[in-house]
């Protein structure tokens, strides 16, 4: 939804707070609420609440307050849309470490929730807030909440890992290795080969100068 992109981050962060309180109100049969009432309950000043709610298209009427049901249905939609897509990372080498430290969630609703490696020295470490797990536990750790895997292992290991991933709930692979992966038709593979991209840029600079 377009108008959701206009919601400032600070407002978005208060949303779950409002949501929880409004759900309680709704549960107790209240149809409307004033910004002063809300302000006291959630400990956010009422001017901020009014400004926040104006982003939701909820203007509130003097002497009436806000319609609880309207706000609730708006929040439900928005919070649902804001749900983060969970991704795993396999191979915590130089590239994998950089990807873990890079905060994907800042730019979109995607977050690396688990990382895997077969190097004993890496297992158990926490990088960018993500725990590195053993490859032995891959199938056990990948549940239905995980949609995609980023593969940043050496080329020779990539196909074997893709085969294992194919048997999990994963639907997509972001392949950072030069290997062309063979996967079942229900899995989408996107391929990023940074060295080829760089080589190709240099080639174009040489042969097709702007
Ligand atoms: P890069 O810069 O390519 O990320 P690197 O030079 O740090 O990598 P690589 O040898 O490319 O290291 O390996 C990347 C990571 O993948 C390492 O942490 C390595 O332990 C891990 N790895 C290697 N083989 C496997 C495998 N079969 N399963 C899981 N992880 C693996």
C-alpha torsion sign, points 130, 136, 139, 141: negative
Binding-site residue positions: 91-96
Give distance in angstroms: CA of 81 to centre of ligand 1. 34
Q: pLDDT tens per residue, the chain (210 residues)?
A: 444 457 788 887 888 788 889 988 988 999 899 888 889 989 999 889 888 888 877 666 667 788 898 888 888 777 665 567 899 999 999 999 999 998 676 555 689 999 999 999 999 999 999 999 999 999 999 999 999 999 999 999 999 999 999 999 999 999 999 999 999 999 999 999 988 889 999 988 999 888
Helix (H, G, I), strand (E, B) or coil at 143: coil
Decide: 165 in ligand 1 pocket, CB within 6 A.
Answer: no
Separation of CA 153 and ligand 1 centre (Å): 4
Q: Which two tokens stand for residue 52?
A: 């926040």
Which of 79, 112, 127 is the last residue before a domain boundary?
A: 79
Q: How many CB atoms lie within 10 A of CB 141?
A: 17
ipTM associated with this complex: 0.94
Final residue belonging to a domain, choices 26, 47, 79: 79
| Residue 49 CB–ligand 1 contact under 6 Å | no
DSSP of 98-125: HHHHS-GGGTSSEEEEEEEES-TTTTT-
**Are residue 94 and residue 40 in the same domain, yes or no?**
no
User: What spacing in Å lies between the alpha carbon of 91 and ligand 1's midpoint?
Assistant: 5
Residue 24 CB–ligand 1 contact under 6 Å: no
Same domain, 98 and 178: yes
Is residue 73 located within the same domain as residue 106? no
Cα distances (angstroms) measured from residue 136 to each of 117, 121, 157, 206: 9, 14, 14, 47
The domain in which residue 161 lies consists of 85-201
Which residue's alpha carbon is at the smallest distance from atom 23 of ligand 1?
Answer: 153
Residue 64 within a domain: yes
Check whether residue 94 and residue 17 sit in a common domain.
no
Clarify whether residues 96 and 53 are in a common domain. no
For ligand 1, whether the C-beta of 127 sits within 6 Å is no
Last residue of a domain, one of 19, 49, 79: 79
Q: Are residues 65 and 103 in the same domain?
A: no
* Domains: count for the chain: 2
Report the CATH number that the domain containing residue 64 is assigned in CATH.
1.10.10.10
């Amino acid at each position: 939804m377009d108008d959701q992109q206009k919601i400032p981050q600070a407002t978005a962060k208060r949303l779950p707070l409002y949501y929880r309180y409004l759900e309680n109100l709704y549960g107790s049969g209240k149809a409307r609420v004033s910004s002063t009432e809300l302000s006291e309950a959630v400990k956010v000043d009422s001017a901020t609440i009014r400004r926040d709610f104006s982003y939701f298209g909820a203007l509130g009427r003097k002497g009436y307050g806000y319609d609880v049901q309207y706000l609730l249905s708006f929040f439900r939609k928005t919070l649902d849309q804001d749900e983060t897509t969970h991704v795993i990372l396999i191979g915590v080498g130089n590239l994998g470490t950089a990807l873990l430290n890079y905060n994907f969630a800042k730019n979109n609703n995607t977050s690396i929730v688990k990382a895997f490696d077969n190097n004993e020295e890496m297992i158990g470490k926490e990088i960018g807030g993500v725990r590195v797990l053993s490859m032995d536990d891959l199938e056990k750790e990948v549940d239905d909440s995980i949609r995609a895997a980023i593969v940043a292992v050496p080329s020779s290991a990539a196909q074997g890992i893709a085969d294992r991933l194919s048997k999990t709930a994963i639907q997509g692979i972001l392949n950072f290795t030069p290997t062309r992966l063979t996967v079942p038709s229900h899995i989408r593979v996107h391929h990023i080969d940074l060295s080829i991209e760089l080589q190709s840029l240099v080639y174009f600079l040489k042969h097709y100068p702007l």
